[in-house]
Structure 1
Amino acid sequence: MVRALKNAAFRYKPEIIFLSETKKKKRYLEKIKMKMKMDESFYVEPVGIAGGLALWWTNNVNVDVLNAGKSFIDAKISFQEEEEYYMTFIYGPPYVDEKQQFWSSLSSLRTSNSEKWCIIGDLNIVAKPEEKQGGLPFDASQAK
């Protein structure tokens, strides 16, 4: 997996990399970040062996992390001289009992702000049965 990430970074030369469900501590991820030639970082540590988020960026990007939780990193971002906008990097909770709180937190991030906003990541929501493979059966009440 690290080799594939390194190859993609070499080929596409991204200025921001977001990893979700890393299941790894900061110390391990910092070694990989250096291989990716990223300059800065922000981490949400995993809980046990679950979760974990990593956000890496180069010095060509200005990233101001505004808020973070176990399922998201919310930041204000600008590239060089371009205008600022907001990005929320997400790994939505896989457990039904955590989803309502997650959606409430997410919706409150931008309620008082009309700036540009981009959400990136995995919301862990299945909208229709065709998207689902394996595991528990499709639950239409969770697709709302």
Structure 2
Amino acid sequence: MNAISWNCRGLGNPRVVHALWDVVKSHKPNILFLMETLSNKERIKHLCGKLGFSNFWAVDCVGRSGGFALLWKSNVKCFPERERRRESWDLLKFLANCSGLPWVVLGDFNDMISKEDKKGIHGHPQALLDGFKQTIEACGLIELDLMGGKYTWEKCRGKPEWVRERLDRAFASSSWWGLFPLCKLNMHKCVHSDHDPIHLELYSTEYLKKKFRFRFENTWLKESNFHEEVSAHWRRLKPSHFLPKLLELSSFMGEWGKRFFNNFQKKKLEELMINEELCWQQRAKSFWLQDGDSNTRFFHACATSRRKQNHIHYLKDEEGGVVSTHEEMCGIVKRYFIKLFGDEGRVMRNNMKV
């Protein structure tokens, strides 16, 4: 399941509708939330069917401003409330105290947490920064890291008064983090709107159990660089909920372990190759080659050549005939030694002594 929130700045522009179609086609969200639609319910109803959503809820625009819509598919339970159309920090606090259920809130908050969330002229008032940050902390929410960029809204691009701000973001409770520890929040560029859509991908703990397997190996602790690399990676991680940081660190150690195993296997293979070369070197009796090319083909060739030289291809019998079969050659050898060590052989040896 995934959701997309986008301040589209008007669905009357065909290019915006085409860009929205591309986003939905690429990421197949189950929930789509659109702000600043500048459209009415009839147009949203037509768009809902065109984009493949079975349900919608919309608020008409007023003149040439406002309007938003929530679209969702039949496999999603969604209960929109009209009073939520006005974003209010007091409402967020109220909702945070209403229930202990896991929850996530995302979209265009039209406010920022720190001065780093804005780049351009006229800094954001510190009172608003503090108020938004205190509200998020009071609700017990933790921000999801945004991938793909830092700023989600801009105006006057390329001009001296160019301003960029991070207005679209997502926050979640600790219990929600426990359900979706591997979630990802991505930003996608759109040239037809001053807001870029944000895309939330959810991976539940069930997915984690099936797909993610981490096994710690005690042999890693014997490597001198293990502690140093793991500590450095932990320090590079952004401040966030403990569980996603722990999972990210586990993933890093898993990849480290793969590299360690591959290097270990490589070392073992090199040792086996060296032993094989020594074995073939001994069989080839090529002790004169002490520091030559580490190529076992040479030793294979030498040993094979020796086997060929030691092999008897044929023998000649007493009448000078050539025999090549195993049985015939064995017969010639047997008769030869019988003759050599028999009576005839003893007479011949005695004559040689005289």
Report the TM-score when normalising by structure 2.
0.30
Q: Are 2:33 and 1:47 equivalent residues in the alignment?
A: no
User: Whose radius of gyration is greater, 1 or 2?
Assistant: 2
Kindly provide the amino acid, as one letter, of the partner of residue 117 in structure 1.
Answer: W
- 1:134 is displaced (CA, Å) by 4.7
- 1:111 is displaced (CA, Å) by 1.2
Which residue pairs with 1:142 in the alignment?
128
Q: Are 2:44 and 1:38 equivalent residues in the alignment?
A: no
Kindly provide the amino acid, as one letter, of the partner of residue 19 in structure 2.
Answer: A
- 1:19 is displaced (CA, Å) by 0.6
Kindly provide the amino acid, as one letter, of the partner of residue 65 in structure 1.
Answer: P
Query: CA offsets, 1:74-94, max 9 Å, x none?
Result: xxxxxxxxxxxxxxxxxx4xx
- Match of residue 123, structure 1, among 105, 109, 126: 109
Higher helix fraction: Structure 1 or Structure 2? 2
- 1:43 is displaced (CA, Å) by 1.2
Higher strand fraction: Structure 1 or Structure 2? 1
SS at match of 1:105: helix
| Pairs within 5 Å for 1:1-144 | 1-66=16-81, 68-71=83-86, 92=87, 102-134=88-120, 136-144=122-130
Query: CA offsets, 1:49-76, max 9 Å, x none?
Result: 22222110111112223453432xxxxx
SS at match of 2:22: helix
- 1:110 is displaced (CA, Å) by 3.2
Which residue pairs with 2:224 in the alignment?
none
Q: How many Å separate the matches in 2 of 1:103 and 1:47?
A: 23
Q: When the two structures are aligned, how many residues end up with a matched partner?
A: 115
SS at match of 1:30: helix
Over the matched positions of the two proteins, sequence identity in percent amounts to: 28
- 1:8 is displaced (CA, Å) by 1.3
- 1:136 is displaced (CA, Å) by 4.2
> Runs of 5+ in structure 2 lacking a partner?
1-15, 131-354
Query: CA offsets, 1:97-117, max 9 Å, x none?
Result: xxxxx2112221231210011
> Runs of 5+ in structure 1 lacking a partner?
72-91, 93-101
- 1:20 is displaced (CA, Å) by 1.2
Report the TM-score when normalising by structure 1.
0.69
